[in-house]
Amino acid sequence: MKTAKKMGIKTVAVYSTADETARHVRMADEAVCVGPPPSAQSYLDIEAIIGAMKQTGAQAVHPGYGFLSENAQFCKRLQEEGLTFIGPDPFAIKAMGDKIESKKLAEDAKVNIIPGHMGLIETPEDAVEIAKSVGYPVMIKASAGGGGKGMRIAWNDEQTVEGE
C-alpha cells in the first residue's frame, strides 16, 4: 500500500469483522468488510472480493500472500469481470501449484532442475526403486498443494517405505 500511495494510486482494503482495526484497513483510502472471521466466509469468498471491487470502483487487486494469491479460479473470475489480478495468470498459477507440471515446464524451458521422478509413484516399492536410481537421501513430497507440509527426507529404503 505504501508503494501505491507513493505512486498516487488509491487503495482499497478488504477485511473480516475481526480485522476491522488492522493496519492494512487503517492504511487504505477505503475499506470494505467482506464477511465474518472465518476466512472461508470472508477472505476466501471470491464473490465478496469482486463485490468490494465493484462497490469501490477498484480496477485491480493485489492478493497479498496466502488466501487467494495462488488461486487460479480467482484470477480467472477477475478476468471474466474485466478486473486485473496483479500477479501471474491462471495458467501459471495452476502450473506452479502442481509440482510435477511445474517441473516439466521448467525442464522444457531448459531450466536446471533437481533430479527426481516426474510422475506419480503408485507403491512404496516403486518409491524405493526410484530413490535408488536418484540416490539417497531423497525428499518425498506430495505433487500438489500442502505449502511445504508433508515433505520428508528418506536416507534409506526403510525410511522410504515407512515414511519416517
- pLDDT above 70 as % of the chain: 95
Least-confidence region, from 14-23, 29-38, 71-80, 98-107: 98-107
pLDDT digits (tens, 9 = 90+) for 59-99: 999 998 889 999 999 999 999 999 999 999 999 998 888 87
Residue 40 corresponds to which amino acid? A
The predicted structure's pLDDT at residue 114: 84
Q: The pTM is what? A: 0.72
For residues 34-57, average pLDDT: 97
Dist CA 143 CA 122 (whole Å): 13
Unique residue bearing C-alpha cell 465474518: 36
pLDDT digits (tens, 9 = 90+) for 129-162: 999 999 999 988 876 555 556 788 999 999 999 8
- pLDDT above 90 as % of the chain: 73
Could you tell me the pLDDT band of residue 41, with boundaries at 50, 70 and 90?
very high
Check: CB of residue 138 under 8 Å from CB of residue 160.
Answer: yes
The predicted structure's pLDDT at residue 95: 87
Residue 60 corresponds to which amino acid? A
For residues 118 and 44, the model is more confident at 44
The predicted structure's pLDDT at residue 66: 86
Check: CB of residue 160 under 8 Å from CB of residue 140.
Answer: yes
What are the φ and ψ backbone dihedral angles of 96, each rounded to 5 degrees? -75, -20
